[in-house]
Chains A and B, each alone.
Chain A
Amino acid sequence: KAGVTQTPRYLIKTRGQQVTLSCSPISGHRSVSWYQQTPGQGLQFLFEYFSETQRNKGNFPGRFSGRQFSNSRSEMNVSTLELGDSALYLCASSLGQGAGRSYNEQFFGPGTRLTVL
């Protein structure tokens, strides 16, 4: 079974630009979560999508957005990039069952390393 894939793996942008990162979950997984990892703030939760709906959201400005498609693939977008957005962006997928479920194991992708110049 293929794991979580993220594209691109590396990206260099300049301040003010926007960027779109892609995540393909494990086949059959319906939930995709995004995390940002920086040396200063560590690993922080961005948002989670389940069945094309945002189910959970972290404390990030509106410049960070995401979406999920009917095939469960997800994209996250960062507009008006700032230097502080330089980070490793990790995507995780899980079965993501409905409310009242027990915990769903999350499987992480290799990440996209974004550098903002």
Chain B
Amino acid sequence: AQKVTQAQTEISVVEKEDVTLDCVYETRDTTYYLFWYKQPPSGELVFLIRRNSFDEQNEISGRYSWNFQKSTSSFNFTITASQVVDSAVYFCALSGVTDKLIFGTGTRLQVFP
């Protein structure tokens, strides 16, 4: 069975702090995809990144970076120098051979000025 665990329910930081959101996944598929989505108060899910199971290269996009480690089945997301606009709920998700997304329970990030 596929499963995504985001153990951190809520994180509060002060602006400019770095913050890491944890994601651990379970799957028996050899080919799979991992995602991070951001959900602002408006409700729409905003795509941030996708990685496939064969590409363990870490990625950096501006203040965002992702650390994918198959050995620990983790796909963690770090925001450097957080900003108030980063406040949202962040979801980690997993997909196998179909496009069906299995979401974690989300981590609510609050960034205070």
A interface residues (Cβ-Cβ under 8 A, vs B):
31, 33, 35, 42-45, 48, 55-56, 58, 88, 90, 92, 94, 96, 102-111, 113
Contacts and interface: CB of A to CB of B under 8 A. Distances in A.
Interface in B94-113: 95, 98-106
Interface residues of B, number: 22
Contacts of A42: 103-106
Q: Most chain-B Cβ atoms within 10 A of its Cβ — which of A42, A56, A110?
A: A42
A111 B44 contact: yes
A110 B44 contact: yes
Given A35-B101, A48-B100, A107 B52 contact: no
A35 B43 CA distance: 13
Interface in B49-107: 50, 52, 91, 93, 95, 98-106
A33 B103 CA distance: 14
Given A103-B50, A103-B52, A103-B95, A45 B43 contact: no
A107 B44 CA distance: 10
Chain A to chain B: the 6 pairs with minimum beta-carbon distance, closest first:
A43-B103, A108-B45, A110-B44, A111-B43, A103-B33, A42-B105
